[in-house]
Homo-oligomer: A and B are copies of this chain.
Amino acid sequence: MTIKVGIINVTGYAGSELARILYRHPEVEITAVTGRSAAGKRLPEAMPHLWQIDLPITSAIEEPVDVVFSALPSGASAEALAPLVDQGVKAIDIAADFRLRDPEIFNRAYGVEHPAPHLLGSAVYGLPEIHREAIKTTNLVANPGCFPEASLLALAPAVREGLVADDIIIDAKSGISGAGRGGQSTNIMDQYSEANENAMAYGLNGHGHQPEIAQEIADLREANSAKVTFVPHRIPMTRGILATCYAPLIDETMSKQAVWDMYEEFYRDEPFVKVTPEPPQTKHTLGSNFCLVHPTVDVQAGRLIVVSCLDNLVKGAAGQAVQNMNLMCGLPENMSLESLALYP
């Protein structure tokens, strides 16, 4: 019994990446893809690199599907998904709409009223390394943001095991595809000539991924809140996130090796997290669903430093979404996700 899948907004970067991954999934058939300005075209006209997937782009999912992914912008996404979820379709939201449990925090972070607050209670935060069992039994998964994905995988072991104080700094660097496609065309900074050979911090007045990280860190600490400074940066590459995380060690004398061993133990059975002996490189994850994590210690300062990296469009978006779908559908977790990184 093939699983029928729909992709809402296939023409963005996350949407087309879903199509790329699902095209080869042995248990899945993509039966519907939607777009906004591209509705009415065939998929290969809008995305020539997907010429093998010759489907019509419609403006909405018109036939029943078993699973739906939404890669719409935040706000629009919950609106499109709500009726499908209400009908019992399994849904994975790649937007931010179901990540924050508190609709008021959502409102402050994204500047819009939450369009489907009645679904917040049943949504599960789709980070299998922390919430695997809950993902298996829900019908609505909130796929993590790309920065939170990298940050939480870097910090979860240390926070859950109580290694660090409540004072975390995350300095994250993202490739430009993280800013999305098309709709961003008013943003001059996505233009090649200005993004190329350029680096900058942004979001210094607050970024939507900060409350998402803080919510999960607080949970891991079993606390009500968490002190987290999060500064995202844009660096000139297409894909990839590198997160460098800093936190004071409770035991300032803890050795690098002890920290590393603890991380290795924590992630021993995870199919998509690798604790690396050397500082990881974003390019070692290109096109793959792996997250690489490297913990170490600044001995002089008694500070934990963890560097993590992943491909923001795979483990940070579409690959993570397929991993969640596999869990929701009782399939092997790594189905269609085993590709090694493309290097160089």
Complex Cα distance A185/B237, Å? 20
Contact of A227 among B13, B16, B182, B300 (CB under 8 A): B300
Complex Cα distance A281/B287, Å? 19
Total interface residues on A, CB under 8 Å, equals 80
Nearest B residue to A297 via CB reads: B204
Choose, from A55-63, A120-128, A155-163, A240-248, the stretch at the interface. Answer: A240-248
Complex Cα distance A242/B229, Å? 18
Q: Is the CB of B242 within 8 A of A199?
A: yes
Q: Is the CB of A51 within 8 A of B274?
A: yes
- Copies of this chain, how many? 4
Known: A49-B341, A167-B301, A231-B244. 7 other contacts (CB 8 A): A20-B340, A49-B284, A192-B238, A196-B344, A197-B237, A197-B282, A200-B280
Q: Is the CB of A191 within 8 A of B192?
A: yes
Nearest B residue to A231 via CB reads: B244
Complex Cα distance A184/B188, Å? 10
Q: Is the CB of A196 within 8 A of B309?
A: no
Task: Say yes or no: A197-B274 contact (C-beta < 8 A), given A233-B244, A339-B339.
Answer: no
A296 at the interface (CB under 8 A from B): yes
